[in-house]
Amino acid sequence: MTDKYYVTTPIYYVNGAPHIGHAYTSIAADVVARWKRLEGRDVFFLTGTDEHGQKVEKAAQDAGLDPQSFTDGVAGQFRAMGEALGISNDDFIRTTEPRHKAACTALWTRLVEAGEIYLGAYEGWYAIRDEAFYGEDELITNAHGVLIAPTGAPVEWVREPSYFFRLSAWQDRLLAHYEANADFIGPGARRNEVISFVRGGLTDLSVSRTSFRWGVEVPNDPEHVMYVWLDALTNYLTATGYPDADAPRAGFWPANLHMVGKDIIRFHAVYWPAFLMAAGLPVPRRICANGWWTVEGEKMSKSVGNVIEPSALIEEFGRDAVRFFLLREMPFGNDGDYSRRALISRLNVELANDLGNLAQRSLSMIARNCEGRLPPLPSPLTDADAALLAQAAALPRLLAAAIDIQAFHTALEEAWRVIRAANGYIDHQAPWALKKTDAVRMGSVLRVLAEVIRAVATVLQPFMPDSMARMLDQLAVPADARGLAALDHPLVEGSVLPAPQGIFPRFVEEVA
Ligand code: MSP
CATH number reported for the structural domain that contains residue 344 in this entry: 1.10.730.10
> pLDDT by residue (tens digit) across 416-443?
999 999 999 999 999 999 999 999 999 9
Indicate which CATH number applies to the domain containing 130.
3.40.50.620
Instruction: Tell which of 290, 325, 355 closes a domain.
Output: 290
How many structural domains does the chain have?
Answer: 2
The pLDDT of residue 134: 93
Please determine, for residue 118, whether its predicted confidence score (pLDDT) is greater than 80: yes
Closest residue (by CA) to atom 13 of ligand 1? Answer: 12
The reply to whether ligand 1 has any atom less than 6 angstroms from the CB of 260 is yes
The reply to whether ligand 1 has any atom less than 6 angstroms from the CB of 264 is yes
What is the Cα–Cα distance from 8 to 15, expressed in whole angstroms? 20
Task: Verify that 237 and 147 share a domain, yes or no.
Answer: yes
The reply to whether ligand 1 has any atom less than 6 angstroms from the CB of 50 is yes
The reply to whether ligand 1 has any atom less than 6 angstroms from the CB of 272 is no
- Residue 265's SS3 state is helix
The reply to whether ligand 1 has any atom less than 6 angstroms from the CB of 451 is no
The pLDDT of residue 478: 96
Q: What is the DSSP string of 344-405?
A: HHHIIIIIIIIIIHHHHHHHHHHHHHSTTBPPPPPSSPPHHHHHHHHHHHTHHHHHHHHHHT
Residues 282/110, Cβ–Cβ less than 8 Å: no
Average pLDDT, rounded, for the chain: 96
What is the Cα–Cα distance from 512 to 509, expressed in whole angstroms? 9
The reply to whether ligand 1 has any atom less than 6 angstroms from the CB of 25 is yes
Task: Verify that 249 and 115 share a domain, yes or no.
Answer: yes
Task: Verify that 266 and 400 share a domain, yes or no.
Answer: no
> pLDDT by residue (tens digit) across 464-484?
999 999 999 999 999 999 999
Please determine, for residue 333, whether its predicted confidence score (pLDDT) is greater than 90: no
Residues 19/310, Cβ–Cβ less than 8 Å: yes
Q: Which pLDDT band, with edges at 50, 70 and 90, does 220 fall under?
A: very high
> pLDDT by residue (tens digit) across 85-99?
999 999 999 999 999
Distance of CA 21 from the midpoint of ligand 1 (Å): 7
Instruction: Tell which of 290, 321, 352 closes a domain.
Output: 290
In a domain, 498, yes or no: no
> pLDDT by residue (tens digit) across 153-177?
999 999 999 999 999 999 999 999 9
What is the Cα–Cα distance from 326 to 337, expressed in whole angstroms? 9
Question: What are the C-alpha distances in Å from 40 to residues 3, 4, 115, 485?
Answer: 8, 10, 42, 8
Task: Verify that 211 and 355 share a domain, yes or no.
Answer: no
Residues 468/380, Cβ–Cβ less than 8 Å: no
Q: Could you tell which of 12, 51, 94, 329 is best to mutate to test the pocket of ligand 1, judged by most ligand atoms within 8 Å of the CB?
A: 12
Task: Verify that 119 and 214 share a domain, yes or no.
Answer: yes
Task: Verify that 233 and 368 share a domain, yes or no.
Answer: no
Domain containing residue 420 = 340-488
The pLDDT of residue 509: 83
> pLDDT by residue (tens digit) across 225-249?
999 999 999 999 999 999 999 999 9
The pLDDT of residue 305: 87
Closest residue (by CA) to atom 11 of ligand 1? Answer: 13
Q: Which pLDDT band, with edges at 50, 70 and 90, does 506 fall under?
A: very high
Distance of CA 19 from the midpoint of ligand 1 (Å): 10
- CA 503 to chain centroid, in Å, comes to 25
Task: Verify that 374 and 253 share a domain, yes or no.
Answer: no
Provide the 10 A C-beta neighbour count for residue 315: 12
What is the Cα–Cα distance from 17 to 73, expressed in whole angstroms? 10
In a domain, 502, yes or no: no
The pLDDT of residue 304: 84
In a domain, 324, yes or no: no
Task: Verify that 388 and 268 share a domain, yes or no.
Answer: no
Residues 149/138, Cβ–Cβ less than 8 Å: yes
The reply to whether ligand 1 has any atom less than 6 angstroms from the CB of 293 is yes
The reply to whether ligand 1 has any atom less than 6 angstroms from the CB of 232 is yes
The reply to whether ligand 1 has any atom less than 6 angstroms from the CB of 30 is no
Q: DSSP code of 342? A: H
The pLDDT of residue 302: 79
Distance of CA 128 from the midpoint of ligand 1 (Å): 15
What is the Cα–Cα distance from 300 to 23, expressed in whole angstroms? 14
Closest CA to 482 of 509, 461, 508: 461
In a domain, 180, yes or no: yes
> pLDDT by residue (tens digit) across 357-376?
999 999 999 999 999 999 99
Q: Which pLDDT band, with edges at 50, 70 and 90, does 512 fall under?
A: low
Q: Which pLDDT band, with edges at 50, 70 and 90, does 2 fall under?
A: low
Task: Verify that 345 and 201 share a domain, yes or no.
Answer: no
The percentage of the chain sitting over the pLDDT mark of 90, rounded to a whole number, equals 94
In a domain, 496, yes or no: no
Q: Which pLDDT band, with edges at 50, 70 and 90, does 152 fall under?
A: very high
In a domain, 317, yes or no: no
In a domain, 467, yes or no: yes
Task: Verify that 284 and 410 share a domain, yes or no.
Answer: no
**For residues 377-384, average pLDDT:** 96
Task: Verify that 385 and 271 share a domain, yes or no.
Answer: no
Q: Which pLDDT band, with edges at 50, 70 and 90, does 121 fall under?
A: very high
In a domain, 299, yes or no: no
Q: How many CA atoms lie within 13 Å of 221's alpha carbon, on the beta-carbon side?
A: 15
Please determine, for residue 7, whether its predicted confidence score (pLDDT) is greater than 60: yes
The reply to whether ligand 1 has any atom less than 6 angstroms from the CB of 366 is no
What is the Cα–Cα distance from 295 to 301, expressed in whole angstroms? 9
Residues with Cβ within 8 Å of 282's Cβ and at least 6 positions away in sequence, in order, are 253, 254, 276
Single pTM value for the model: 0.96
Q: Which pLDDT band, with edges at 50, 70 and 90, does 116 fall under?
A: very high
Q: Which pLDDT band, with edges at 50, 70 and 90, does 1 fall under?
A: low
> pLDDT by residue (tens digit) across 381-412?
999 999 999 999 999 999 999 999 999 999 99
Distance of CA 437 from the midpoint of ligand 1 (Å): 60
Q: Residue 29 is inside which H or E element, if any?
A: helix 20-38
Task: Verify that 274 and 344 share a domain, yes or no.
Answer: no
- Residue 10 CA: nearest ligand 1 atom is 5
